[in-house]
Structure formats: structure tokens, C-alpha cells
Amino acid sequence: MKKELILEMKNIKKNFPGGVIANDKVDLKIKKGEIHALLGENGAGKSTLMNILYGLYQQDEGEIIFNHKKVDISSPNDAIELGIGMVHQHFTLVPSFSVAENIILGLKDEGLKPDMRAINKKIEVLGNKYGLKIDPEAKVWQLSVGEKQRVEILKLLYRETELLIMDEPTAVLTPQESDFLFKTLKKMVNEGKSIIFITHKMEEVMNITDRVSVLKKGKVVGNYTTANTNSNELANAMVGRTIIFDIKKDKIKKGNTVLKLENVKALNDKKLSALKGISLELAEGEILGIAGVAGNGQRELAEVISGMRAPYSGRIFLKNKEITDYSTRKRIREGLSFIPEDRLDMGISPGMCVKNNLILKDYFNDIFCNYGFILAEDKICGFAEEMVKKYNILTPDIDTRSSLLSGGNIQKLILARELSSNPDFILAVHPTRGLDIGAIEFVYDILLKERNKGKGILLIAGDMDEIFTLSDRIAVLYEGEILGYRPADESYLEDIGLLMAGVRGEENANKY
């Protein structure tokens, strides 16, 4: 039976200052009761198009027809009232508010004095139903990135939207949780809801979507029925070339121990135990992947290693030198580089230009200063131009504000800054989260080249494909403990998924 349309976006055009055409006469049709994938490189116009649909931007030309009626969506409130909900790539939550307060924010039906007990109960029921458990009373600033994403998804479920826009919803889920979410999405579309599914994981596109639209440089370059296409065809439409999905790693050449943790214990922001005696060793020329569901200590582990959080017990060594009490700057000088999970809020200073973000770690050193305190503009510009070229950072110029770059180019900027100092140890936390397949391929290539140079890399990621692609060994983190180690072999996927859920096996203590 032919499905009726729930959404038509016709001839949508959006220009930004500087002559940037984000959307160039885009047509998009979404059917009732389907999962429709929206693909494209970072900067292709996907986010702009969805922000127009959600009322954050207004189109310069074109019209939107929702449920067979022409609509004007001038704000997110307009979208919500129509039945359109969106989970953004960069979350739109109020950090000082609780989970429940964020979920009901802007809802007129809750009244001037909401019944928080009833609201909390409804959130708990939804969380249990969809496998998105979260404490309704927890403050958002206390949550990990993955937990914040759960809150965003629960906002849509709570509001019973007809059209759900989901941007990378599985980025921090275990394989089992992803499978459960997919079943949930299928149930939702069978009940008549529609989903626009933005992802860079081709396997997800092929497994759960009904149709696919591909954007490139602001234009729709192809519409496909999923059953009649394949990953290579879609990748070629996106980037204009073949993408290497199966990256081959050179045989590991382990050197001396570069990072060592001895029984490290630390508290989270709620002053509860987050790390419960973490011990691990990482060698030169090795990538150790840390797998686990978000909220099991990954954030605290990264902050303890980088110097942003102090452990209350245990010791940390970098190249056999104890750095437990070192500041972040001192750790950087000892050879540590840090690629954080939140590249926009933590990885860069968004209001600063590209060239100044590139020297944030070393602006006080002689290489960028005259006489130790006056910044040398010629040295800074020369370095920035070199990094932009080497890392293929797409920017109008080095004086462009960094927040105007696409996610992929911001990540390239961070990589350029962090790796230009020739570090001995690289801490990479969700290094490809939210990136398109071309940018993912670039990041993988850079990290593997650093590994082959003898650098030690600790990779903290929620994407199991990424963990298996890059890692030499995998450690599973659950409730602040390492439950076990496994080889980076996909035959262990189910076993690792069980460990991520806290199911202990007989051989969990073995180190592969």
C-alpha cells in the first residue's frame, strides 16, 4: 500500500553571510510511517535543512507542507505544536536544570506549577520502556555526553511527536542497546510515526531505513530506496569517491610502557565513586580501546588522565614518570595530547579564530613569542597556514571564527593542534562522533599513522565499529571498573557487549 506524505520541503534555499549557500533549492519528501535517512558530508547542508524544519532558521525561499497543510515554522515552539521534534548533534539542554525540567521545558500543558512527581514517574516509565534509563532529578551538568543524548531522545518520546528528527542517536549505545532502539523505532513507524534518521553509519542506513536522501554542497544529489542501493553507491554520492570501510592495520610493534595507572580511584561530580581502582598499561605503538556504555566512568577516566580531575587514590605514570599531581599544562609538556569528546565546548574556543585555536596549547612558548611575552603574528600565521594545508582544514581563511567551521573541520583543527607537538601519548575520546564518513576515514588514517610512529593511544569510544577498527586490545569499563580485556576481533562482539552490560565471564581477568 502506498504511504501518504507527512512532510514536503519544496525549493528550500538558505544563504548565510559571506556568500555561503547552505541549502540550494532543496526538495525533501517524508512519508508517514517510514524511517528516512539523510546523508551527507559535514557542511553538506543537513543540519541547516533540519534547523529550518525545526524553526531555528527560516528559509530565504521555498515552502514547508506538513500533514497536507502549508506551515510557517518560525520557532521550535511552532514545530513542537505541529508534532515535530529534534535531537540536535550539539545538545540543546540547560545545564543547571534537572533532567525532568529539561524534558518539560516549553510545554504549556504542564501549567504554571507542574506536578514533578507525576512527570518524574512518566519519564521513568518511558526510560524503562525504551531502554533509556536516567535519573529524572539529576542535573544535566552532571551527566555524560551519552546521558545527555538519552535526555534529548526522551524529550521527543515524552512529547509524542509525529515526526522525529534523530541525529546520530546510537553514537553511545552498546550493540545490544542499539538493536533494542532499532526495534523501538520500527515499532514507532509501524504505529504511524515518521523518523528522519541522520547517521554516518552505513550499516545502520542499510539495516533500518526505508529510503535515503543524499545532500552534497547544499543540494540533493540523490534519492534512493534502501532496498535497491548499497553502501558504496551511497558513499560515492556523498563524497564523490570510494571510501575505505575495511581499514587494514599494520602488525603491532609494541615498545616501552608509555601510560600506566595503578589502582586509580576518583569521584564524579555528585561526589560518588566513579573510578573504583583502575589499573592499566599502554605501550608505545599500541591503541588500547576502552569500550563501555556512556556513564560508566569514561568521562572521569579521561579527566583524571588529562589532569582535569584529581584522583583521591592511586598513581598515574607517563613514560615512567609519576604525573599524578601534575597540572594539565605540565602533563602536556611531558608529552600528553588530548582529543576531548565535546569538540565544540571543550576542544576549541568557538569565538576565537582558526589561527588562535591552533596555538592554544603553545602560545606562551618561544616558537610563537618574541622575547617570551609578545605574540609573533608572522610565526603564528605561518604555522596556521601550514596546519590548514597539512590537515586539509576547509576554512575561508585562518582568521575565520572557529565556530563557523563544520564538525569535521573543527575536529581536523583539534587534531592539527594536538599532534603538531609530536606527543608520546594521545588520549582520544569519541574522536569521530558526529563526523561524516570522509572525515571518519581521515581521523582513522591520522590515528593509525601516529600509532605506527610509536605513539601510545588510549581510545575511549562508544562506537563498536570504531573500537574494532582502530584498537589492538579492548578493555571493557563498567561502573568504574575494568571487567576484562578482549582482542580486537569482531568474533568477540557479543562477549564484549555482555561485559558492557555488566555480565561477568569466567575469563574477564585475562589480558589479551
Does residue 175 lie in a domain region? yes
Do 78 and 204 belong together in one domain? Answer: yes
Do 211 and 262 belong together in one domain? Answer: no
Does residue 399 lie in a domain region? no
Give the whole-angstrom CA distance, residue 309 versus residue 55. 39
Q: What is the pLDDT of residue 508?
A: 43
Do 338 and 454 belong together in one domain? Answer: yes
How do strand 321-322 and strand 374-375 relate by DSSP bridges? unpaired
Query: What's 276's domain CATH number?
Result: 3.40.50.300
Chosen domain end from 169, 204, 239:
239
Do 288 and 235 belong together in one domain? Answer: no
Do 263 and 207 belong together in one domain? Answer: no
Do 235 and 261 belong together in one domain? Answer: no
What is the largest distance, in Å, between two alpha-carbon atoms of the chain?
76
Angle at 246 between CA 245 and CA 247, to 5 degrees: 105
Do 329 and 448 belong together in one domain? Answer: yes
Do 282 and 208 belong together in one domain? Answer: no
Do 274 and 135 belong together in one domain? Answer: no
Does residue 425 lie in a domain region? yes
How do strand 61-66 and strand 35-40 relate by DSSP bridges? unpaired
Do 221 and 266 belong together in one domain? Answer: no
How do strand 35-40 and strand 211-216 relate by DSSP bridges? parallel
- Residue 92, classed as helix, strand or coil, is coil
Do 180 and 34 belong together in one domain? Answer: yes
The three grid cell numbers given for residue 315, joined into one nine-digit string: 598513581
Q: Tell me which residue has cell 512518566.
A: 122
Chosen domain end from 239, 268, 296:
239
Q: What is the pLDDT along the chain (512 residues), one digit of tens a residue?
A: 567 999 999 999 998 876 778 899 999 999 999 999 998 877 788 888 999 999 999 999 999 999 999 999 999 889 988 999 987 766 788 999 999 999 998 777 777 788 899 999 999 998 887 777 889 999 998 886 667 878 888 888 888 889 999 877 776 555 666 777 787 788 778 878 899 998 777 888 999 999 999 998 889 999 999 999 988 888 888 877 665 555 677 787 889 999 999 999 999 988 989 999 999 999 999 999 999 877 789 999 999 999 999 999 999 999 999 999 999 999 999 999 999 988 877 889 988 999 999 988 887 777 777 765 667 788 889 999 999 999 988 888 899 988 888 778 898 999 999 999 899 999 999 888 767 777 788 889 899 999 999 999 999 987 788 898 999 999 999 999 999 999 988 888 888 888 887 887 554 444 44
Does residue 370 lie in a domain region? no
Q: State if pTM tops 0.85.
A: no
Nearest to residue 13, comparing CAs of 2, 23, 1, 3? 23
Helix ranges, 105-212 (H): 116-130, 145-159, 175-190, 202-208
- DSSP symbol at 247: P
Chosen domain end from 188, 204, 239:
239
The three grid cell numbers given for residue 371, joined into one nine-digit string: 622575547
C-alpha neighbours within 13 Å on the C-beta side of residue 187: 9
Does residue 92 lie in a domain region? yes
Structural domain range at position 261: 257-344+418-500
Does residue 396 lie in a domain region? no
Do 228 and 263 belong together in one domain? Answer: no
Q: Count structural domains, the chain.
A: 2
Does residue 252 lie in a domain region? no
Does residue 442 lie in a domain region? yes
